[in-house]
Amino acid sequence: MPDRGTGPVLDRRLLLQLGVAAGALAACSRDPSPSEPSTTVPPWEPPAEPMVFPDGFVWGAATSAFQVEGSTTADGRGPSIWDTFAAEPGRIADGATGDPAADHYRRWESDLDLLVELGLPAYRFSVAWPRVQPTGSGAVNQRGVDFYRRLVDGLLARGIHPAITLYHWDLPQPLQDAGGWAVRDTADRFADYAGIVFDALRDVDATWLTINEPKTTAYVGYRWGAHAPGITDEDQAAAAVHHQLLAHGRAVQAFRASGAAGGIGIALNLLPVYPVDRAADAAAVRVDAVENRLFLDPVLLGRYPTDAIGTQPGQLPADAGRFEDLVRDGDLEAISSPLDLLAIQYYGVTGVDDAGNQVPLYPTSLATWQQVHPEGLYDQLMDLLIDYPDAPPLVITENGIPDPTADGTVEDAERLEFLRAHLQQAARAIGDGVRLTGYYAWSLLDNFEWAEGLSQRWGLVHVDFETQERTPKDSARWYSTVVRANAVAPS
Ligand code: GCO
């Protein structure tokens, strides 16, 4: 995410006063080369007939352990950085903690039944490292492993494909006490943990994802301090980039060595970047490096971009020399280990001004960091096709929007139309040659939305946090029809 509410932004009205029409801005190319002055292009219109997805396209919904499980001390689970962070006064908007969240640790069976009711053929969840290894290293907590075995078996018994994220931000607290992702040892600890989970579930034909959104952890957790571990240090943020990517690479190597079934990838949140005018071109290229290429290039090309870190407008203002010193022989080979899929998470876009600030071009959702622009998904997918032609097949593992009211509702026309518009853009990109093989909506359930606590509801299914009652929203019913038809209708 760009900033999750921090960082400098230009007011949209100011942009318009400057005579810059948002429609024209939207037409700007992401191509880094300074191009012709932008011209307004007509918005894309969906065809009159439903857009059909390829046979075998995988449809699902996603959650993550800390956001839904609750039961944070059950069965030997150790504390994570999010338990610590949420317990600190003022960190979470409504003072919520990870308990009970959506109580999924105890309600997992009925939640899997809900997947069946909605006709979803795939479910993405994450394994909580502190359940499996309560201190982040050493002895395995068998009761933690057993929970995920039951969950996976429950999915398979219902004919649902498991997509398993190994790390969705809940680092065991003892590893943070030793430096967290700012230190190299954490990458080795992660590889050990990943090996434990691969061994435990080696027979399962799963989609494996190593690290969820290393960018968000590095920038929001270590640069802006709005997420756990709440650090504000540019050099630690840069180190967290490298060490998470190294952890990813080591885990892929452990996966291959384990002989586990299924395929593996990493989940990167990407952000199409549009310069607001020609004077912003250079800064926009650097912001693209910080937001996208700092992650895509090492994973897919085996090298870091040279323009992401530094003191020029738009760059991550860490010490580039110190960052280079972190990268040892063999690291980039590990980080660029061949993948079976690249998981991308798409929420919206950003504009960039000539000072490198991320500025609004499109209306935001209730999440102020989310500028909603469905065509940005098409741009993103096409950019990947052009810039990384050897990339593995793509899967969208997150895409969604919070309810427009904090209270929650099951009449969520905004989410339904958001999903429809994004699925149309996904189908459009497939038609233009993108190898996109699956889509997971974020999220199956209303849940603990990090620093926003329970106050932002991202679920297809409404959760009453008093009673834990689940009620599918209109979008969930609509999404079921899309999945069953393997097609998205124009309206
Ligand atoms: C992320 C995470 C999810 C969030 C979702 C909405 O993208 O930040 O993977 O855990 O809940 O994105 O913010």
DSSP conformation letters of 221-282 = IHTS-SSTT----HHHHHHHHHHHHHHHHHHHHHHHHHT-SSEEEEEEE---EEESSGGGHH
Residues 158/117, Cβ–Cβ less than 8 Å:
no
Question: Other CB atoms closer than 10 Å to residue 192's CB: what's the count?
Answer: 16
Write the residue with the smallest CA distance to atom 10 of ligand 1: 64
Is 90 exceeded by the pLDDT of residue 4?
Answer: no
What confidence category does residue 42 fall into, taking pLDDT thresholds of 50, 70 and 90?
confident
pLDDT tens per residue, range 310-355:
999 999 999 999 999 999 999 999 999 999 999 999 999 999 999 9
Instruction: To the nearest 10°, report the CA torsion of 207, 211, 214, 216.
Output: 80
Is 90 exceeded by the pLDDT of residue 8?
Answer: no
Distance (Å) from CA 328 to ligand 1 centroid: 31
Pocket test for ligand 1, best of 398, 401, 448, 457 (most atoms within 8 A of CB): 398
Atom number, ligand 1, closest to the C-alpha of residue 402? 6
Is-catalytic flag, 375?
no
Q: What is the DSSP letter of 4?
A: T
Flag whether 122 is in a domain: yes
Atom number, ligand 1, closest to the C-alpha of residue 213? 9
Pocket test for ligand 1, best of 170, 271, 371, 450 (most atoms within 8 A of CB): 450
Flag whether 57 is in a domain: yes
Distance (Å) from CA 264 to ligand 1 centroid: 20
Residues 187-195: what's their mean pLDDT?
98
Is 50 exceeded by the pLDDT of residue 201?
Answer: yes
Distance (Å) from CA 442 to ligand 1 centroid: 8
pLDDT tens per residue, range 126-144:
999 999 999 999 999 999 9
- 3-class secondary-structure state, position 470: strand
* Burial bucket for residue 410 (CB in 10 Å: 0-12, 13-18, 19+): middle
Atom number, ligand 1, closest to the C-alpha of residue 458? 6
Tell me how far CA of residue 228 lies from CA of 45, 82, 132, 232, 409, in angstroms.
41, 6, 20, 11, 29
Flag whether 1 is in a domain: no
Check residue 331 and give its pLDDT. Answer: 99
Domain that holds residue 166: 12-488
Residue 215 to residue 418: CA distance in whole angstroms: 24
Pocket test for ligand 1, best of 209, 213, 219 (most atoms within 8 A of CB): 213
Residue 321 to residue 326: CA distance in whole angstroms: 9
Flag whether 5 is in a domain: no
Write the residue with the smallest CA distance to atom 4 of ligand 1: 449
Residue 62 to residue 124: CA distance in whole angstroms: 4
Distance (Å) from CA 124 to ligand 1 centroid: 13
Check residue 407 and give its pLDDT. Answer: 83
The 3-class secondary structure across 112-144, one letter per residue, is: HHHHHHHCCCEEEEECCHHHHCCCCCCCCCHHH
Of 155, 144, 220, the closest CA to residue 181 belongs to 220
Flag whether 265 is in a domain: yes
What confidence category does residue 43 fall into, taking pLDDT thresholds of 50, 70 and 90?
confident
Please confirm whether the linkage preceding 443 is cis (ω < 30° from 0).
yes
Of 416, 396, 395, the closest CA to residue 460 belongs to 416
* Burial bucket for residue 15 (CB in 10 Å: 0-12, 13-18, 19+): buried
Locate 115 and state its tokens. 């997947």
Atom number, ligand 1, closest to the C-alpha of residue 347? 12
What confidence category does residue 406 fall into, taking pLDDT thresholds of 50, 70 and 90?
confident
Distance (Å) from CA 339 to ligand 1 centroid: 23
Write the residue with the smallest CA distance to atom 11 of ligand 1: 449
Is 60 exceeded by the pLDDT of residue 270?
Answer: yes
Write the residue with the smallest CA distance to atom 5 of ligand 1: 442
Locate 112 and state its tokens. 């899997």
What confidence category does residue 25 fall into, taking pLDDT thresholds of 50, 70 and 90?
very low
Atom number, ligand 1, closest to the C-alpha of residue 370? 13
Residues 216/237, Cβ–Cβ less than 8 Å:
no
Per-chain mean pLDDT for the chain: 93
Which helix (H) or strand (E) segment holds residue 472: the answer is strand 470-472
Q: Which pTM does this prediction carry? A: 0.93
Residues 348-371: what's their mean pLDDT?
97
What confidence category does residue 408 fall into, taking pLDDT thresholds of 50, 70 and 90?
confident
What confidence category does residue 10 fall into, taking pLDDT thresholds of 50, 70 and 90?
very low
Residues 367-371: what's their mean pLDDT?
97
Is-catalytic flag, 213?
yes
Pocket of ligand 1 (CB under 6 A): 1, 64, 67, 212-213, 216, 269, 345, 398, 442, 449, 458
For the chain, what is the domain count?
1
Distance (Å) from CA 212 to ligand 1 centroid: 9
Distance (Å) from CA 376 to ligand 1 centroid: 18
Of the residues 291, 375, 398, 449, which is catalytic?
398
Flag whether 3 is in a domain: no
Q: φ, ψ for residue 488 (rounded to 5)? A: -115, 125
Flag whether 154 is in a domain: yes
Of 128, 191, 436, the closest CA to residue 337 belongs to 191
Terminal-residue alpha carbon distance, the chain: 30
Atom number, ligand 1, closest to the C-alpha of residue 64? 10
Residues 25/359, Cβ–Cβ less than 8 Å:
no
Residue 369 to residue 372: CA distance in whole angstroms: 9
CATH code of 354's domain: 3.20.20.80
Instruction: To the nearest 10°, report the CA torsion of 42, 45, 47, 48.
Output: -110
Pocket test for ligand 1, best of 92, 345, 368 (most atoms within 8 A of CB): 345
Residues 460/443, Cβ–Cβ less than 8 Å:
yes
pLDDT tens per residue, range 203-262:
999 999 999 999 999 999 999 999 999 999 999 999 999 999 999 999 999 999 999 999
Atom number, ligand 1, closest to the C-alpha of residue 442? 5
Distance (Å) from CA 168 to ligand 1 centroid: 9
- 3-class secondary-structure state, position 360: coil
Of the residues 213, 291, 375, 452, which is catalytic?
213
Residue 112 to residue 130: CA distance in whole angstroms: 23
Locate 35 and state its tokens. 């191009």
Residues 217/181, Cβ–Cβ less than 8 Å:
yes
Percentage above 70 pLDDT, the chain: 92
Locate 228 and state its tokens. 């756990």
Of 101, 136, 81, 38, the closest CA to residue 452 belongs to 101
Distance (Å) from CA 27 to ligand 1 centroid: 27
